[in-house]
Amino acid sequence: MTAAIIGVGMTRFGRDLEHQLPELAFKAIDEALRDAGVSKEDIGFIAFGNVGGWSGEFFPLPIVCEYAGLNPRGGMRVEAACASGSAALAAACMAVESGYADIALAVGAERMNELASTPAIVELLGRGGNFFWEFEMLGLTFPAYYALFARAYMDEYGATEEDLAKIAVKNHYYGSMNPKAQFQKKITIEDVLNSRYVAWPLKLYDCSPITDGAAAAVVASERIASRLTDTPIWVKSQGIATAPANLTMRRDLLSIESVVEAARQAYRKARIEDPVRSLDLALVHDCFTIAEIIAYEDLGFARRGGGYLLAREEQTYIGGLIPVNTDGGLKAKGHPIAASGLAMIYEAVKQLRQEVDRGRQAPIKHGQALIHNVGGTGHFAYVTILSLEKP
Ligand code: COA
């Protein structure tokens, strides 16, 4: 049994104090239902990704269902830190694959700017690492974690701050063409290098921003997907892995073990031996520029220690070895935690259907795209392969 995505929706990402959480979720749901050509009554199950803490809705799922007019037979809130969107997709796929529902909805929504200022949000996010040892005792926050990874990587392989900056320039370049991105302006290497330090060696432009937004996908069972649309996007495989929260239990800081394992599972199930020759594009979890470089290696796009060279040689633009983050990535499109994984799914679906504006549309030769979504510092990893061809 397999599942297909038959509709997607997302809000314009950004700082949005105008819309409440249920309103944001509704906008994404409404667009996804219209895209799929199904009605609210058709939804048998909803998986709602939301981390919350920074917004007032403490038990958001019933309010979201009520506001959106949904009355599914079952539903659950899903949380896997920054990978909550992919976790919601996994739950929706399980619902249709098990026969529990014919059509399920995966939604991710976050209103990060509702209650708190940057320091408070950074503190809440910091609890997503190892709470007692690393947050309480050492005061590590996410920019600090990724600064440690960046420093270790630069020392080991000789990558420079300019190499990291190249990721930000690429992702802002694609963000400048994406009407749903938080930042729609191009930047230069100098802009990145001259921006203020957040956690050395990471600067403002090495970081993803704080974002409000929502994204959704309608998932249908194998039995009915092809009847509902001419272009079902099949969930060919999803590799899922976890790793210890405590950094001292990791082998090194230069790789995320859960990603390596999730990629192994996803490639095996999708029978992919050489990812760069089998995929048309990838959406990777660039919460910080160094994260994208490490992802190139963990996903097998580059050899160990060679990820920064892909950035230096601009091999991850359209026309290069493999296009990465054609939507602007978390860096420029924005990172509303639980919505981010489903926003990557949104982009991959639009790309595979060739519905993206010129300039951002990757050539579709293999009919396959990869989505890489990481929660915590690698506590959760989801690697999803979407395909035009039924597996
Ligand atoms: N990239 C580019 N520009 C950014 C930005 C980013 N990441 N974050 C904010 N800006 C811009 C704002 O739009 C604003 O521009 P303006 O003056 O033209 O309006 C300016 O920088 C100041 O914004 P502000 O919101 O005051 O910045 P800040 O210092 O409060 O927050 C960070 C900046 C980097 C600290 C914050 O975005 C952050 O913590 N990011 C990481 C979030 C995170 O850890 N997510 C989880 C990852 S796993």
Calpha distance 229→390 (Å, rounded): 13
Best of 113, 149, 194, 210 for a ligand 1 pocket test (most atoms within 8 Å of beta carbon): 210
Q: Where are the domains of the chain?
A: 3-116+211-228
Amino acid identity at 30: D
User: Which residues lie across from 78 on neighbouring strands?
Assistant: 49
Query: What is the CA(208)–ligand 1 centre distance, in A?
Result: 7
pLDDT tens sequence across 60-119: 999 999 999 999 999 999 999 999 999 999 999 999 999 999 999 999 999 999 988 999
Atom of ligand 1 nearest to the CA of 374: 48
- For residue 388, the model assigns a pLDDT of 98
- For residue 360, the model assigns a pLDDT of 97
- For residue 290, the model assigns a pLDDT of 98
Atom of ligand 1 nearest to the CA of 335: 45
Of 288, 324, 284, nearest in space to 165 by CA:
288
pLDDT tens sequence across 335-381: 999 999 999 999 999 999 999 998 999 999 999 999 999 999 999 99
Atom of ligand 1 nearest to the CA of 143: 44
pLDDT tens sequence across 289-322: 999 999 999 999 999 999 999 999 999 999 999 9
Calpha distance 375→369 (Å, rounded): 20
Please enumerate in sequence order all residues whose Cβ is within 8 A of that of 249, keeping only pairs 6 or more positions apart, or say none: none
Phi, psi for 307 (deg, rounded to 5): -60, -40
CB 25 within 8 A of CB 64: yes
Residue range 3-116+211-228, CATH number: 3.40.47.10
**Cβ 333 under 6 angstroms from ligand 1:** no
Tokens representing residue 3 in the block: 């599942």
Query: What is the CA(210)–ligand 1 centre distance, in A?
Result: 6
- For residue 57, the model assigns a pLDDT of 87
Nearest CA to ligand 1 atom 39: 122
Query: What is the CA(125)–ligand 1 centre distance, in A?
Result: 14
Calpha distance 3→390 (Å, rounded): 9
- For strand 368-375 and strand 281-283, is the pairing parallel, antiparallel, or unpaired? parallel
The catalytic site residues sit at 82, 335
- For residue 296, the model assigns a pLDDT of 98
User: Which residues lie across from 242 on neighbouring strands?
Assistant: 380
Residues counted in the chain: 391
Query: What is the CA(44)–ligand 1 centre distance, in A?
Result: 38
Predicted TM-score (pTM) above 0.85: yes
Distances in whole angstroms, Cα of residue 235 to Cα of each of 67, 257, 371: 29, 23, 11
pLDDT tens sequence across 265-287: 999 999 999 999 999 999 999 99
Calpha distance 260→18 (Å, rounded): 40
Of 106, 133, 9, nearest in space to 50 by CA:
106
Separation of first and last alpha carbons in the chain? 10
Query: What is the CA(211)–ligand 1 centre distance, in A?
Result: 9
Amino acid identity at 78: V
Q: Report the interhelical angle of 289-298 vs 257-270 (nearest 10°).
A: 50
pLDDT band at 1 (very low <50, low <70, confident <90, very high): confident
Of 23, 22, 44, nearest in space to 219 by CA:
44
**Cβ 198 under 6 angstroms from ligand 1:** yes
CB 95 within 8 A of CB 67: no
Q: Mean pLDDT, to the nearest integer, of 210-225?
A: 97
Residue 226 has pLDDT above 90, yes or no: yes
Atom of ligand 1 nearest to the CA of 82: 48
Amino acid identity at 373: N
- For residue 50, the model assigns a pLDDT of 98
To the nearest 10°, report the CA torsion of 298, 301, 302, 307. Answer: -70
As a whole number, the mean pLDDT across the chain is 97
**Cβ 283 under 6 angstroms from ligand 1:** no
Tokens representing residue 256 in the block: 């995320």
Tokens representing residue 364 in the block: 């579709």
- Give the E-state strand segments of the chain in sequence order: 3-10, 45-49, 74-78, 103-111, 197-199, 202-203, 212-221, 233-242, 281-283, 368-375, 380-387
